[in-house]
Amino acid sequence: MVILCMEIAEEIKEARDILQVILKAKKLLRMYPPNNPIYTKTLEESFLKFKQFLDYKDNFTINIRQNSILYDDEPIYSSNEKEDNLALFFFKDGLRQLTFKKGLPSDELEEFLKILAYDFEHEAFDEDIVTLLWEKDFQYIQYIVDEAFLIDEEEENYEVVAEKKVKEQVTDVNDLVRAYFEGFQEEEHKGIAIVPLTDKDLKMLVEEIERDSSEKIGKLISILFEIIYQTVGKTDIEDIFAFLRDSVKYCAEHGDLAMILEILSKAEQTIKDPVIGEREKKYLTMLNQYIGSDEIISLFAELFDSGVDIDEGLFNNIALYFDKNAIEPLIKYLGELKTIRARKIIIDSLVSLGKKDIHSIAKGLNDERWYVVRNIIYILRKIADKRAIEYLLKTIRHPDVRVKKEVIKTLGELGGREVIQSLRECLDDPDMQVRIAAVKAFGNIATEPAKKILLDKISEKSFKDKQFEEKKDFFETISRWKDEDVFNFLVKIMQTRSFFNRGKLFESKACAAYALGLTGNKDAIIVLEKFKDSGNKLLRDYSNIALRKLING
């Protein structure tokens, strides 16, 4: 019983599939001429679907209701729409049942589908679907018509209703004549009928065309590589390479990243095969140069910026085949891309590729566009190669603050003795954000010389005049050194007394209290307890914050 239920369910599913094939063919056969590949492919798919069903069933019979179609009393199609309603399309002309018999030939199915594809509302003939079926005299397609219900109740009363409306709306003969005249004018201006397509229809067509093109390109590629194998040393490899190159360009223009990856993968496998000659290998290796050319990179950039949904994983795998020549065009289009997502894809590729050639990446630091320079600095930071330091040091005096902050951050992460002096100079930069970036960079370097520079800067007489935000960043950074020198330095500031500039002193004490809390040294609790009830609100608040952190963790 379970097996029988499963068979019935599968049969219903296949019946639904046939209805979908009919719907698809009804639209596509109206749009394309018989010599079009899509027209031909639609017929082939439709015939195959019917044949598969009729191979194990004697016939395929559907019963037609006004808004639904049934197979074996099970609904396989339903729609309440006035337009694009297949059930209503059949029903309004009186069709109540359609049967397709085993042995249905493809030419008879084609004639049936062509009838469905007629635009009955606009094309210049008066026949209905039943008349056309009768004229064809099909041998394998049978139908049942209900003559009594060729039109629904509203259509039966159409003339009565129309006459009533005219009497209600037209008050004299002139109005009536004008109504007729306007009606004729309206007909004259109708022109060629345009088939309405939904978004779903358009998406289906695009996918169909893309799939068809991709399949053909795939077959071509397989043939080209087979020719290489079959005629090693004999074939004109230049011509085959030209075909492969054109295929890569075509795929890039149409966003077919999967096919580009397949071409590159096949080329790589072929190069590794010992039976392939050196001449063939040389040309196949040139494909890696070609995909990194300005011609192809520009197509990738256009694709990424278009907003089309792409598989970034596919492009990342393609980028693994890039040679060094791809760096220059990638940087060029990095500066022209409009979307963050597109720039990220290019940046990730440059990070991977830049490990092969730091020098070529660093050339981007000379770009006139500040945002390109900042992105190149980011790329160098992600590559994390200390050889980049010599190029970055030349950029530290860039006029744009955003670039300076990025290069300071990168130098801090790369570290090294050679960056210390340049970062020290940045502590005196006119821009506070640049100075704060330099402080944090010293914190990342975390060496003894870096610590000494920060402690000396805090000890300077002019330090007290800095804004509280900047002071706080200094103290927060030195708290990273969990040693006795820093602890004693902070305690000393907490214990400092002065009768002058007490407001500025309280700011420094509050920062020191905050830093003591960050050190995690519980010996600071005794010191902080003395200031938890301070008359200065800023010092009191930060002392209590530090105490809670030390006590509660």
Residue 537 has pLDDT above 90, yes or no: yes
Q: CB within 8 A of 465, min separation 6: which ones?
A: 504
pTM more than 0.85: no
Quick one: 20 and 142 in the same domain?
yes
Residue 392 domain flag: no
Residue 266 domain flag: no
Task: Quote the pLDDT of residue 236.
Answer: 73
Q: CB within 8 A of 145, min separation 6: which ones?
A: 94, 95, 96, 130
Question: Under a CB-based contact definition with an 8 Å cutoff, are residues 67 and 80 in contact?
Answer: yes
How close are the terminal C-alpha atoms of the chain, in Å? 67
Residue 427 domain flag: no
Residue 368 domain flag: no
Residue 449 has pLDDT above 90, yes or no: yes
**CATH code for position 496:** 1.25.10
Q: pLDDT tier at 548 (50, 70, 90 boundaries)? A: very high
Q: CB within 8 A of 243, min separation 6: which ones?
A: 220, 224
Residue 467 has pLDDT above 70, yes or no: yes
Q: Tell me the three state secondary structure of residue 137.
A: coil
Question: Under a CB-based contact definition with an 8 Å cutoff, are residues 532 and 547 in contact?
Answer: yes
Question: Under a CB-based contact definition with an 8 Å cutoff, are residues 481 and 446 in contact?
Answer: yes
Quick one: 71 and 27 in the same domain?
yes
Mean pLDDT of 453-474: 95
Residue 162 has pLDDT above 70, yes or no: no
Residue 401 domain flag: no
Quick one: 9 and 134 in the same domain?
yes
Number of separate domains in the chain = 3
Six-digit token string for 440: 């944090």
Quick one: 58 and 183 in the same domain?
no
Quick one: 8 and 152 in the same domain?
yes
Task: Quote the pLDDT of residue 34.
Answer: 84
Quick one: 99 and 26 in the same domain?
yes
Q: CB within 8 A of 522, min separation 6: which ones?
A: 550
Q: Which domain holds residue 486?
A: 467-553
Residue 507 has pLDDT above 80, yes or no: yes
Residue 493 has pLDDT above 50, yes or no: yes
Quick one: 39 and 169 in the same domain?
no
Task: Quote the pLDDT of residue 156.
Answer: 43
Listed range (117-126, 379-388, 476-485) with the worst mean pLDDT: 117-126
- Dump pLDDT digits (tens) for 52-89: 999 888 899 999 999 999 998 899 999 888 878 899 98
- Dump pLDDT digits (tens) for 372-420: 999 999 999 999 999 999 999 999 999 999 999 999 999 999 999 999 9
Quick one: 30 and 85 in the same domain?
yes
Question: Could you give the angle at the alpha carbon of 267 between the alpha carbons of 266 and 269, nearest 5°?
Answer: 65
Strands 68-71 and 74-78, sheet pairing: antiparallel
- Dump pLDDT digits (tens) for 2-14: 334 436 678 888 9
Residue 244 domain flag: no
Quick one: 183 and 118 in the same domain?
no
Quick one: 93 and 141 in the same domain?
yes
Residue 516 domain flag: yes
- Dump pLDDT digits (tens) for 264-307: 999 999 999 998 888 889 999 999 999 999 999 999 999 999 88
Average pLDDT, the chain: 85
How far from chain centre, in Å, is Cα 145?
51
Question: Under a CB-based contact definition with an 8 Å cutoff, are residues 266 and 221 in contact?
Answer: yes
- Dump pLDDT digits (tens) for 413-438: 999 999 999 999 999 999 999 999 99
Task: Quote the pLDDT of residue 149.
Answer: 46
Q: pLDDT tier at 190 (50, 70, 90 boundaries)? A: very low
Q: What string of DSSP letters covers 42-100?
A: HHHHHHHHHHHHHTTSSEEEEEE-SSEEEETTEEEEE---SSS-HHHHHHTTTEEEEEE
CA pair distance 329, 30, nearest whole angstrom: 45
Strands 59-64 and 74-78, sheet pairing: unpaired
Residue 328 domain flag: no
Residue environment code for 346-381, b if the CB has 16+ CB neighbours within 10 A, otherwise e: bbbbbbbbbeeebebbbebbebeeeebbbbbbbbbb
Quick one: 12 and 107 in the same domain?
yes
Quick one: 9 and 143 in the same domain?
yes
Of 132, 156, 180, the last residue of a domain is: 156
Task: Quote the pLDDT of residue 193.
Answer: 41
